[in-house]
Chain A
Amino acid sequence: MLDLLPRLRRFATGLAGTPADGDDLCQMTLERALANRHKWREGTRLDSWVYRIMRNIWIDEGRAATRRRQTFVADEAGLAVGAEGAQEPAVELSMVDRAMQSLPPDQREAVLLVMVEGYAYKEAAEIVGCPVGTLNSRLVRGRDALLELLGEVQ
């Protein structure tokens, strides 16, 4: 699993948006993976198993964060106060980061799994826990959005 760590950090950063949040996500993932290691079946791919744990945690955290937002701030107020906390420590986001962050979670993870982590559609679908067709259409939409945002040339 130590060998997997660099890749896990990459995936976590892509999901979470910043290296710091990514490492926190990584840490939670490792904690859960270690606590549940008896559930991993010998002979299955360890990397897919851990990736799945990570994306599940990320999805759950995202839902919780959305709920908190909805509880405390009306949409209008939230917008007026400043897009996503304009006063947080200035993190200069690159074009790619910004474009990735603009994708809905399901598209973002599909794009990351296939285009960054290099999983086949089928493997990525297993990690996400959805049919291949569903993953494919998320990937297509996410990719189209990125092409639009980033332009087709480098």
Chain B
Amino acid sequence: MTVSRDELAAFADGELPAGRAAEVAAAIEADPALAREVEAHRALRKRLAGHFAPISQEPVPDRLADMLRPGAAAEPTGVVDFAAERERRQPRPPVPRWRWVVGPALAASLALVVLFPRGDGGSAPYAGDRLASVLDRTLVAEQAPGADTRILLSFRDGDGEFCRAFSGTGGSGIACRDERGWRIETQGEGSAGAQTEYRMAGADEASVLARAQEMASGPALDAGEEAAARAQGWR
């Protein structure tokens, strides 16, 4: 007698009709390989059930239980006042997600024009006037789609400095604000020798963003945080 894998699983779940279940049980008895497979199914079930069991054993949060208590959420008419319920409910702080911040910028920036000015030498280069003014002034949310140099996102690094990932034809990179100005931390690969005027946004920005994620100490700044950072001069 052959037993299909589906049947074995159904057997382990107690879902086979009685007659067939007896046959399968006999086959399993005779074949250690089948027995092992059934055992694996049972072990998996046990593991899953065990994994999720604690959730059903912990106390239910009040905001959920209150919705169901008589009088708590229902008005005398029996109509539930959801608006009031929603107000009472504790809002979870919004979690800024990278893709919301990054997505539109990536999608919109096909090509980016202008040089990437350098600072006055030294070990760590600093942004030149032009780039620095973009870094100082531009908010991600406000920049024009066709801007020469675009800010991809802003964040704080491990030292608490504000850093901004940017992209322009001259190259992309990350600059962090210290007492001297915007220190260039990272430049996208190939930014130095870009010959063509138009390049696809892509690999360059992706590597810069990947680097930003490594450097950042928290999520990207949202629009409000960015505006606040600008107001205090990124320091």
Contacts and interface: CB of A to CB of B under 8 A. Distances in A.
Interface of A: 1-2, 5-7, 9-10, 13-14, 19-20, 22-24, 26-27, 30-31, 34-35, 69, 72-74, 76-78, 80-82, 85-89, 94, 96-97, 111-112, 114-116, 118, 120-121, 136-137, 139-140, 143, 146-147, 150, 152-154
A81 B67 contact: no
Contacts of B216: 87
Interface stretch (B57-65, B114-122, B177-185): B57-65
A30 B98 contact: no
26 contacts: A6-B56, A6-B58, A14-B52, A30-B68, A34-B67, A34-B73, A69-B99, A76-B202, A77-B206, A80-B207, A81-B209, A81-B210, A82-B209, A82-B210, A82-B213, A85-B97, A87-B219, A89-B95, A96-B51, A112-B52, A118-B49, A136-B6, A136-B10, A147-B41, A152-B40, A153-B43
Given A1-B68, A82-B210, A116-B52, A150 B44 contact: yes
B47 A81 contact: no
Query: Looking at chain B's contact residues, is the secondary structure mostly helix, strand, loop, or mixed?
Result: helix
A72 B92 contact: no
Contacts of A85: 97-99
